[in-house]
Amino acid sequence: MNKAKKYFYITLGFIALGLGLIGVILPILPTTPFLLVTSFCFAKGSERFHTWFTNTNIYKKHLESFVKERAMTLKQKVVLLSFVNFMLAFPLILVDVLPMRITIIVLIIIKLYYFVFKVKTITPEEKRAMEAARREMA
């Protein structure tokens, strides 16, 4: 991978991290989607930044259970899906091209299917137990 791509991914990762951190403070901005983008971008752009990020408390609190067990609390799912659906509603409403609207609707359906049937829903207590077990192993 060339340097320009690496710098692009690292920069995008830090922007997503900043938005994710703002989301921790402001409940109107969801944290999880931005942290997922951060993790993806750091993994593509820099092993050092990816390792650093996966060892932070914010990663462990908001993403680790999803990444390791493909599990999220109902609240995490609702917040994530609400934000993504809200963001997809803009092009769905504003774009007047039928094939594009159909593509967006299909994307929404696939996303909903994935999060309802492929990502396990756990209780907050189960999440805490998983986090405690991981801490004991570390």
Stretch 17-34: mean pLDDT: 81
Return the domain boundaries, the chain.
1-62, 70-138
The alpha carbon of 81 is separated from its chain's Cα centroid by a whole number of angstroms, namely: 10
DSSP state of 46: -
pLDDT surpassing 70 at residue 1: no
| Confidence band for 138, pLDDT divided at 50, 70 and 90 | low
pLDDT surpassing 80 at residue 16: yes
Name, in order, each residue with C-beta under 8 angstroms of 29's C-beta and a sequence gap of 6 or more: 19, 22, 23
- Quick check: 34 and 23 in contact, CB under 8 A? yes
- Quick check: 73 and 127 in contact, CB under 8 A? yes
pLDDT by residue (tens digit) across 41-95?
Answer: 999 999 999 999 989 888 887 787 778 888 888 888 888 788 788 888 888 888 8
Percent of the chain with pLDDT over 70: 97
- Quick check: 32 and 63 in contact, CB under 8 A? yes
Q: Supply the pTM of this predicted model.
A: 0.63
